[in-house]
Amino acid sequence: MIETVSAILADGFFAAVAALGFGAISNPPMRAFPRIALLAAAGHALRFTLMTYFGVDIATGSLCASLTIGFGSMMLGRRIHCPTTVMSIPALLPMIPGMYAYKSMFSIVMFFQKIDDTAVCAAYLDTALRNGMITVFVILTLAAGATLPILMFPSKAYTMTRRQQCQNNA
């Protein structure tokens, strides 16, 4: 039990570090950092739990995680006047299936290296297609999960950066 909990917490921790680091390349505002870390940890740990202990596939797991991040960024963003995507995109970055994208591309490179050997070629083509499918659908579910809250509550999502006191002054 303790092992399970510590595995989940460790996964969340490393996801948070990954989100901050990859996010930092895209220059998020400093005030958003703690919220990005929290959202990334919650989303990635949820996906890890679903996939490891409940046998959920990677696309469904990613959808659950990205919905959590999407709704979470909506709840957390207003206080710091950040659009939802400023928090949700960095928080989603650790779940981008970079490894699958890379494996897919690598198999295509190898496909041409072994073009004369039909059996090996077929194996590389299979790997390329499988990893490519995972890449496309995981990114699609990540984006869909992050966008759904915006589509559901547009008036709330579009006024995230509006300052309330300005309205009173006006």
Partner 1 sequence: MQRQTQGDPHSELAATVGFIARYASYLMGSGVHTSRVVRNSRRIGSALDVEINLAVFPKSIIVSGTDAHGESFSRVVAIPACPIDFERNADLSALSWEAHDRRLPLAQIEQRYEELCAKPRLDPMLVMILAGLANASFCRLFGGDFKAMGIVFTATLFGFFVKQKLAQRGMNHYLLFIAAAFAASLMSSLSLILDTTSDVALATSVLFLIPGVPLINGFIDIIEGHILTGISRLTAAIMLIACIAIGLSATLMMVKSELL
The footprint of partner 1 (CB under 8 A) covers 11, 13-15, 17-29, 32, 44, 81-83, 85-86, 89-90, 92-94, 96, 98-99, 101-103, 105-106, 108-110, 113, 139-140, 142-144, 146-147, 151, 158-163, 166-167, 169-170
Question: Which is nearer to partner 1, 56 or 80 (by Cβ)?
Answer: 80
In angstroms, give the least distance from the CB of 41 to partner 1: 11
| CB of 17 or CB of 56, closer to partner 1 | 17
DSSP annotation of 79 reads: G
- Give CB contacts under 8 A, 24+ apart, made by 124-130: 127/103, 128/104, 129/104
For residue 50, give Cα distances in angstroms to 8, 53, 60, 95, 147: 10, 6, 9, 14, 21
Q: Whole-number minimum distance, CB 56 to partner 1, in Å? A: 17
**Residue 141 belongs to what H/E stretch?**
helix 118-152
